[in-house]
Amino acid sequence: MERRSILKAVAGIVTAASIGLAAMPSQAADSGKKYTVALIPGLTTDAFYITMRKGAQAAADALGVNLVFQGGPEFNPVVQVPVLDAMIARKPDAILIAPTDTTQLVEPLRKAKDAGIAVITVDTFIGTGKYQSGAGDADFPLAYIASDNVLGGRMAARALATAIGDAGGKVYVSNVKPGISTTDQREAGFKAEMKENFPKITVLETQFNENDANKAASQLQAVFARNSDLKGVFGANLFSALGAGNGVQQAGQTGNVKVIAFDAPGSIVDNIKSGLVDAAIAQHPAEIGYYGVVSAYAHLTGQSIPVAIGTGFTVIDKNNVADPNVAKYVYSE
Ligand code: T6T
């Protein structure tokens, strides 16, 4: 994108946001149109998406947008697609969605686009995530708003290497299942960083837990039974990390097997305080939700919008966990 278009796009976002923050009448209010934006999370009960919803609601309140939050009880395309179909039938102006699979949500989301609904993906992407590029058959969403998950995986690798120390040793990734853009990218970033910069660390085979913390805990114990010299584990999302930590505790290895968590619900923060988890890579889900709604609003009111917005991270460990500027990134439950 040319510099001028980038500036125009950013100006659109900033203008929309500042109109809302100043509580001035929005363009939608002026024209009498109240836009409806739907947010479809990966699953409704996950603290990550609960926090994203709060950010989305803050932007919706500021801009006079009607926000509808609808999702399923599991992170699973079989569960998510009927929720999406039902939402398309309600004809919102825009859908913000965290697609639960890179390929299985492509055709269901095309139906939304064909129905004239603006589609923006938040957290996860479909296809390659390179939208509006004219490449592939899944580039039609208008924007992707998320953490840089490859970078997050690299940050987790560095934190785990620091926790383990110079001697190195065996570690593994506790992950959800292949086909989820976020967790696939975290694993790829983690492995690339280990390979490039930490030759004394051996990354064992990934254990997939289907987003089930109990399964992740059992897997930790099984990996430890096969590798009594296991030094660490990277839990690539909230449930993987919670389960891996529980597994370390159940194996009586607290402090010996280091744990780096992706995501920061209160339970993980408690585990940092107790010494079970060494660090958490906290995403900023409220920021994702906020800019998701702002982007949808900007598009609906005729502004061009950035095709991708990268949101931040905060690394939480025992040294900063009490700092209010850090604690504000702990997820809502
Ligand atoms: O890590 C988040 C999210 O980014 C990922 O796509 C799925 O898992 C979480 O929702 C945490 O459970």
Measured CA to CA in angstroms, residue 133 lies from 111, 121, 137, 166, 310 at distances of: 19, 15, 10, 44, 18
Distance of alpha carbon 15 from the chain centroid: 26
Instruction: Answer yes or no: is pLDDT of 59 > 60.
Output: yes
Average the pLDDT over each of 28-32, 173-177, 190-194 and give the range with the smallest value. Answer: 28-32
Instruction: Answer yes or no: is pLDDT of 243 > 90.
Output: yes
pLDDT for 32 equals 67
Q: Global pTM?
A: 0.91
pLDDT for 30 equals 52
Ordered by where they begin, the domains of the chain are: 5-141+284-312 (3.40.50.2300), 149-282 (3.40.50.2300)
Token pair belonging to 287:
């920021």
pLDDT category, 31, cuts 50, 70, 90?
A: low
Which of 35, 2, 284, 291 lies closest to 143, judged by CA?
A: 291
| Residue 131 main-chain phi, psi, to 5 deg | -85, 160
pLDDT tens readout for residues 63-97:
999 999 999 999 999 999 999 999 999 999 999 99
pLDDT for 11 equals 40
Distant-in-sequence, close-in-space partners of 206: CB < 8 Å, separation ≥ 6: 172, 173, 174, 175, 187
Centre of ligand 1 to C-alpha 31, Å, is 37
Neighbouring C-beta atoms of residue 11, cutoff 10 Å:
13
**CB of residue 288 inside a 6 A radius of ligand 1:** no
| Residue 26 main-chain phi, psi, to 5 deg | -80, 165
**Closest C-alpha to ligand 1, atom 10:** 48
**CB of residue 124 inside a 6 A radius of ligand 1:** yes
**CB of residue 184 inside a 6 A radius of ligand 1:** no
| Percent with pLDDT over 90 in the chain | 89
Q: Distance between the two ends of the chain, CA-based, in angstroms?
A: 39
pLDDT category, 128, cuts 50, 70, 90?
A: very high
**CB of residue 209 inside a 6 A radius of ligand 1:** no
Write the single-letter amino acid at 151. Answer: L
Centre of ligand 1 to C-alpha 237, Å, is 5
pLDDT for 15 equals 39
Q: SS3 letters for 133-171? A: CCCCCCCCCCEEEEECHHHHHHHHHHHHHHHHCCCCEEE
Centre of ligand 1 to C-alpha 33, Å, is 34
Centre of ligand 1 to C-alpha 28, Å, is 32
